[in-house]
Structure 1
């Protein structure tokens, strides 16, 4: 069952202090619309949402036909979020509200210390529960993003794991002889060359052929790179 909390206490306290019932009712309706919008936008992030809205700081006329939108479209509404609201049938009046969106969910951590250069195994990871909005930036939430990665530094157990703490295992070593596959809509050509730098899966590295020609290709497997035309 999904649980959601709409925090309206700051609004109610402010309205009581200033004794403006009409404004309180207008703001309450506006906040409820914005809350529903954020709930819909964040519902895919977790099973339990905690949404706290901050009422407008100034006394403003009622917002007719409110149409909320995210000021940073494409980003997950997590943590501190700015929400724009177009008012009126023409949407020319725009207001901005601040909100805090929390998502209670699980994230993987290490069950034991990990040394630099050591590869993460699935049995080394355990799941912790908490507010995902309070985790550091670029925290890895998917176990499959971590398993098989190499630690770039010593990592302590129980801490959120971040992308910069890992790198992919090198599938190509510097000076290794590799096969480069050149692909197009109607052709496929294989050439042998020498890697000028190491690379993991998906990395783009330079390769030199016997003709001294140098190209940049993407690592697709162990000793295999591809160039698309």
Structure 2
């Protein structure tokens, strides 16, 4: 069945029966079709071809597509498939409380239907380095941008080092943080009473323009 379908950006499409485990590995991009109502006589079909105009919605099962397969001996078979794009995304096998740092040991990749995912997920555990849980996560929940935040490297009221560098010079001075922020986030800092600027967090209690 895999030969009947191709994906422009991901190569061959993988076909699996309902209830079968995910195909492929987390390192592979994957587009998978969930096959429904496979005709028992399909194995007798020689040199099958998919009808060019047969793909249409299945009125008996919304969300499915009906495909007509034409055999060399003139037989015709109707196959219903659920066409869904899947990709590997990071999830948490155990519940995590708000504020929990995200480490690789707390993450596991799961094959996720992208059409049902709210927000973009994370493809690798490394991409979550420096993040913590924004809200409580359920066991098995896919981690999205909305459910995490950068771990604060600067807290409100901290004395920070404001570092300015240029061609042939480098200078730094102390300032007070008026906001908390994680890596690469921009926060307000006070250089002197009433004199504040925005700066980018570059490390623990360190900021730059």
- Would the TM-score normalized by the shorter structure come out above 0.5? yes
TM range (shorter): 0.5 to 0.7
TM-score normalised per structure 2: 0.60
Unaligned runs of 5+ in 2: 12-26, 34-51, 54-81
Provide the alpha-carbon RMSD of the alignment. Answer: 2.8
Question: Among 118, 121, 144, which residue is 1:139 paired with?
Answer: 121
Aligned equivalent of 2:163: 181
Runs of 4+ aligned structure 1 residues displaced above 6 Å come to none
Matched, 1:199 2:181: yes
Q: Name the count of aligned residue pairs.
A: 147
3-state secondary structure, aligned to 1:164: helix
Are residues 123 and 144 of structure 1, via their aligned partners in 2, closer, same or farther at CA, if it must alter by over 3 Å?
same
- Per-residue CA deviations over 1:64-116 (Å, capped at 9, x if unaligned) read xxxxxxxxxxxxxxxxxxxxxxxxxxxxxxxxxxxx98544422211110011
- Counterpart CA distance in 2 for 1:4 and 1:101 is 15
- Counterpart CA distance in 1 for 2:121 and 2:3 is 24
Are residues 5 and 191 of structure 1, via their aligned partners in 2, closer, same or farther at CA, if it must alter by over 3 Å?
farther
Contact kept in structure 1, 2:30 and 2:87, CA below 8 Å? yes
TM-score normalised per structure 1: 0.55
Contact kept in structure 2, 1:5 and 1:49, CA below 8 Å? no
Are residues 133 and 4 of structure 1, via their aligned partners in 2, closer, same or farther at CA, if it must alter by over 3 Å?
farther
- Counterpart CA distance in 2 for 1:103 and 1:4 is 17
Matched, 1:155 2:128: no
**How does 1:56-67 map onto structure 2 within 5 Å?**
none
- Per-residue CA deviations over 1:14-46 (Å, capped at 9, x if unaligned) read xxxxxxxxxxxxxxxxxxxxx7xx61x445x94
Unaligned runs of 5+ in 1: 7-34, 56-99
- Counterpart CA distance in 2 for 1:158 and 1:136 is 15
Contact kept in structure 1, 2:31 and 2:85, CA below 8 Å? yes
Contact kept in structure 2, 1:171 and 1:219, CA below 8 Å? yes
Contact kept in structure 1, 2:183 and 2:203, CA below 8 Å? yes
Greater helix content: 1
